[in-house]
Amino acid sequence: MLKVLITTVPFGDKNTLPLEILEKNNIEFLINPLNKKLTEDELVELVSDFDVIIAGTEPITKKVMNRASNLQMISRVGIGLDSVNLLAAKDSGITVSYTPDAPAPAVAELTVGMMLTLLRSVHVSNSQMHLGDWHRYFGRRLSEVTIGIIGVGEIGQGVLEHLTGFGSPKILVNDISIKDKIQDRYNVEWADKEEIYKQSDIVTLHLPLTAETKNMITESHLLSMKTDAIIINTSRGGIINEDDLYKVMQSGHLSGAAIDVFDNEPYDGDLNKIERCLLTAHMGSMSIDCRTRMEIEATEEAVRFLTGKTLKGLVPEEEYEVQRQGL
């Protein structure tokens, strides 16, 4: 019998359809028995008998693949591929697919929610109210600030779309290349990253984690931002140097930060000590509809692979090239 290892959790909690799809196709499956994000060594202990991994952000390394003698396919629940060694997969003849569109609406909405929360100090007021402190904070409205968006793929464009409903904030954007359709549809200005850091009241990141973006934002970049600026990361941990962010915020620079993704998860670092730093547990994609769509798409792709049908979410060659070039 074909066997699938589901490493990402939760899975099938809000909608059991992905599990029903596997059962209908007589595919045996095991859901991560540790019920947490697995380490490389924990994966090595689990993978040996499985044909497919339906994966989250666990480190699927060459070591893991070498142990997984039956592994033919990795079906990634989500968009990020930094946790999968694509080159090792190719060398081992392992197919990799992903669900790049499914999480975008939820991540974009959370990002805008974080903007509003930070601009109005909602998170700080909430924590103080629970301690019995009453303090009314002045804040700013989205239409009155300059917003810098670094990365305007599906999620960045979703953020842009939501911002059209908040008056006319000045929006600066940056990406690997200028996208004409964005220029035509939205009132934006293209700028280099350094200008975005200097000019923006809010900087929000929507980038993959690559060798090029690892520690892209360090102490000097954060200090180049306005004293009362805000930085948001709902993309990938490791793009902002967390130690540098703590040091800069501890000094009083930046009015706030919102971080949903971390170098090591679960996170238990110094940013916990900064009240005006809003921390969430990598929950950008965790709206019920988007998470369910991600799980269903990844499961359907696994079934298509195991039944010899055409795949819909194959990882494109350019993603392999990014890892090949160490970008």
Q: Kindly list the domain boundaries of the chain, sorted by start residue.
A: 3-100+287-324, 104-279
* Residues whose CB is less than 8 angstroms from the CB of residue 39 and which lie 6 or more positions away in sequence, other chains included: 58, 59
Give dist(CA 235, CA 207) in Å, integer: 6
What would the two tokens of residue 257 be?
């930060």
pLDDT of residue 108: 98
282 catalytic? Reply is yes
Catalytic member of 23, 212, 265, 321: 265
pLDDT at 256 over 80: yes
Amino acid symbol at 319: E
CATH superfamily membership of 104-279: NAD(P)-binding Rossmann-like Domain (3.40.50.720)
Mean pLDDT, range 191-203, rounded to an integer: 98
Do residues 6 and 30 lie in contact, with contact meaning Cβ atoms separated by under 8 Å?
yes
CA proximity to 139, closest of 256, 280, 232, 274: 256
Measured between its terminal Cα atoms, the distance across the chain in Å is 39
pLDDT tens figures, 207-237: 999 999 999 999 999 999 999 999 999 999 9
CA angle 96, 158, 184 (to 5 degrees): 110
CB atoms within 10 A of CB 322: 17
For the domain 3-100+287-324, what is the CATH superfamily, name and number? NAD(P)-binding Rossmann-like Domain (3.40.50.720)
Amino acid identity of residue 258, one-letter, is A
List phi, psi (to 5°) of 300. Answer: -60, -40
pLDDT of residue 327: 61
Listed residue (68, 54, 96, 18) closest to 311, CA to CA: 96
Q: Is 136 a catalytic residue?
A: no
* pLDDT tier for residue 262 given thresholds of 50, 70 and 90: very high
Q: Is the pLDDT of residue 168 over 90?
A: no
Determine the average pLDDT of the residues in 49-68: 97
Indicate which residue of 123, 221, 282, 291 is catalytic: 282
- Which amino acid is residue 185, in one-letter code? R
Which residues does 313 contact at the CB level (< 8 Å), separation at least 6? 75, 97, 98, 99, 100, 297, 298, 301
How far apart are alpha carbons 305 and 95 in whole angstroms? 9
Burial of 136 (0-12, 13-18, 19+ CB in 10 A): exposed
Only one residue has tokens 């380490």, namely 39
Residue with tokens 């499956």: 29
Phi, psi for residue 228 in degrees, rounded to 5 = -105, 20
Percent of the chain with pLDDT over 70: 100
In this prediction the pTM is: 0.94
Give the active site residue among 76, 206, 236, 293: 236
Q: Quick one: average pLDDT of 157-161?
A: 97
